[in-house]
């Protein structure tokens, strides 16, 4: 059985390393030819995942036909903003695993990455999400993740990715799993702002706890199951990201309050929360649902509001019962 991994950033590379280290022949598709050649020559992804050796079963390629030839499934690990464009340019696989964490909002309402992959390919899709920093997964530090989707395929994903350091649970709540993964990025931006302003541990815990409630409110309104948000793909990933030294979202929040300009925020890698927060806030406005933490992040990240003013506004909200 052969697997194609689409996207040679940090996460695509880490997942390809995980599979190839288990002896699964894995083709890692890179968008840029020069990147595929560098991976082949150095057997390392120096730009996105430095210090991790690529196992022998991992074959990098820039050629779409070669990447997907004979693949039983394709793992999609490109940034959400590149999802449509990437899939439009590639041959189809029999089925897909979506490892992208993001959120879309348009005429059809809120859409998750797996839903977009499904609509574009008309093939079955399993979402894989959890507290999984690429830097740690690729170094075989232990973690767990959730494979959510059609039961038979979710079990296939469980068997395919599980190993001594990567424990995979299955779930039928794909929407909930993906909404958790998208919202935690928005909350990690907020956590980074609290870190950058040096507001302390109490402030961060209070913000994240209220943020988790917001994740549950938003996610259940969109059809996710409440228990999913208290699981690995919700709370689990929120903890991993909001307290992490690796997280690009948390670091972007910290950089924003230090005045780093918007362009430079994604220098270390994609910051999905900057896009997901737009979808969340647009949905909240259209539905008349209050999402105070997401709205505050949106004001700071996209409307130029001073972070302390955003915090004051959060603290001055009408008193209420927990
Ligand atoms: N890095 C991590 O630890 C994890 C990341 N994810 C998710 O995986 C997705 C990808 O993230 P990373 O691999 O970390 O990103 P990254 O920033 O490390 O790499 C992005 C990759 O996408 C490519 N890319 C950028 N713009 C593109 C475009 N317009 N068209 C095609 N390709 C483009 C880049 O060349 C690069 O290979 C995101 O949705 C992220 O939230 C999920 C779990 C863990
Ligand atoms: O999703 C992730 C860990 O589970 C990666 O988080 P960042 O994108 O913030 O680095």
Residue 196: CATH number of its domain: 1.10.1040.10
How many structural domains is the chain composed of? 2
Could you tell which of 18, 185, 192, 275 is best to mutate to test the pocket of ligand 2, judged by most ligand atoms within 8 Å of the CB?
185
Query: Tell me, what's the pLDDT at 81?
Result: 97
Q: How far is the CA of 247 from the centre of ligand 2 (A)?
A: 5
pLDDT (0 to 100) of residue 1: 86
Question: Do residue 193 and residue 151 come from a single domain?
Answer: no
Predicted-complex ipTM score: 0.97
Find the domain containing 157 and state its range: 2-175
Residue 68 structure tokens: 């997907």
Q: Does residue 296 lie within any of the structural domains?
A: yes
Q: Does any domain span residue 39? A: yes
- Rounded to the nearest angstrom, the distance between the alpha carbon of 107 and the centre of ligand 1 is 25
Ligand 1 in reach of 270 Cβ (< 6 A):
yes
The enclosing H or E element of 238 equals helix 237-242
User: Which pLDDT score is estimated for 8?
Assistant: 98
Clarify whether residues 156 and 195 are in a common domain. Answer: no
pLDDT tens, 29-84? 999 999 999 999 999 999 999 999 999 999 999 999 999 999 999 999 999 999 99
DSSP string, 97-121: EE-----EEETTEEE-HHHHHHHHH
The ranges of the chain with pLDDT < 70 are none
Query: 133: Cβ below 6 Å to ligand 2?
Result: yes
The residues pairing with 111 across neighbouring beta strands, listed in sequence order, are 104
Same domain, 152 and 224: no
Examine residue 322 and state whether it is found in any structural domain, yes or no: no
* Same domain for 155 and 21: yes
Q: Exposed, middle or buried: residue 50 (CB in 10 Å: 0-12, 13-18, 19+)?
A: exposed
The residues annotated with a catalytic role in the active site are: 184
Question: What is residue 203's predicted lDDT score, i.e. its pLDDT?
Answer: 96
Residue set of the binding site for sn-glycerol 3-phosphate: 101, 130, 184, 237, 247-249
From first CA to last CA, the distance across the chain in angstroms is 51
Residues 82 and 205 in one domain: no
Q: Which of 157, 175, 193 is the last residue of a domain?
A: 175
Q: Does residue 268 fall inside a structural domain?
A: yes
pLDDT at 261: 83
- Domain boundary among the residues 151, 175, 199 is at 175
Is residue 186 domain-shared with residue 112, that is, in the same domain?
no
In a domain, 141, yes or no: yes
Cα-based distances in Å from 247 to 44, 121, 191, 244: 21, 30, 11, 5
CATH of the domain at 22: 3.40.50.720
Please indicate, yes or no, if residue 321 is contained in any of the structural domains.
no
Query: Does residue 21 sit in the same domain as residue 170?
Result: yes
Whether 116 and 48 map to the same domain: the answer is: yes
Instruction: Tell me if 134 CB under 6 Å of ligand 1.
Output: yes
What atom of ligand 1 comes closest to residue 248's alpha carbon? 1
129 lines ligand 2 (CB under 6 A): no
Write down the pLDDT at residue 262.
80
Domain boundary among 123, 152, 175: 175
Query: Are 305 and 276 in the same domain?
Result: yes
Residue 135 lies in a domain: yes
For ligand 1, atom 20, the nearest C-alpha belongs to: 9
Output the pLDDT for position 57: 98
Residues 276 and 165 in one domain: no
Q: Are residues 220 and 88 in the same domain?
A: no
Residue 267 has what pLDDT?
A: 85
What's the pLDDT score for residue 236? 98
235 lies in the same domain as 159 = no
Q: Characterize 101-133 residue by residue with b for buried, 16 or more Cβ atoms within 10 angstroms of its Cβ, and e for exposed.
A: bbbbbeeeebbbbbbbbbebbeebbbbbbbbbb
Whole-model pTM: value is 0.97
- Mutation choice for ligand 2 from 248, 267, 268, CB with most ligand atoms inside 8 A: 248
Contact 307, 300 (CB under 8 A): yes
């Amino acid at each position: 059985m052969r697997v194609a991994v689409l996207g040679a950033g940090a996460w695509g590379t880490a997942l390809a390393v995980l599979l190839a280290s288990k002896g699964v022949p894995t083709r890692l598709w890179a968008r840029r030819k020069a990147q595929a050649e560098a991976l082949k020559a150095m057997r390392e992804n120096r730009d996105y995942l430095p210090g991790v050796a690529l196992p022998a079963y991992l074959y990098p390629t820039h050629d779409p036909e070669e990447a997907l030839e004979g693949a039983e499934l394709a793992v999609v690990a490109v940034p959400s903003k590149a999802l449509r464009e990437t899939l439009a340019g590639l041959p189809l696989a029999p089925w897909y695993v979506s490892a992208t964490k993001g959120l879309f909002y348009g005429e059809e309402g809120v859409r998750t990455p797996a839903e977009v992959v499904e609509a574009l390919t008309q093939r079955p899709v399993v979402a894989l999400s959890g507290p999984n920093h690429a830097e740690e997964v690729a170094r075989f530090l232990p973690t767990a993740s959730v494979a959510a989707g059609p039961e038979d395929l979710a079990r296939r994903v469980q068997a395919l990715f599980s190993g001594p350091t990567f424990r995979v649970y299955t779930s039928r709540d794909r929407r909930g799993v993906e909404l958790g993964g998208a919202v935690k990025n928005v909350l990690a931006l907020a956590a980074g702002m609290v870190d950058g302003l040096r507001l302390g541990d109490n402030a961060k815990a209070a913000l994240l706890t209220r943020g988790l409630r917001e994740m549950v409110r938003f996610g259940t309104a969109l059809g996710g199951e409440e228990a999913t948000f208290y699981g690995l793909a919700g709370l689990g990933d929120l903890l991993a990201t909001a307290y992490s030294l690796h997280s690009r979202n948390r670091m972007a929040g910290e950089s924003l309050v230090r005045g780093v300009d918007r362009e430079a925020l994604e220098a270390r890698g994609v910051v999905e929360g900057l896009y997901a927060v737009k979808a969340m806030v647009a949905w909240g406005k259209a539905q008349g649902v209050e999402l105070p933490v997401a709205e505050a992040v949106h004001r700071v990240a996209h409307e130029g509001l001073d972070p302390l003013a955003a915090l004051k506004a959060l603290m001055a909200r009408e008193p209420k019962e927990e």
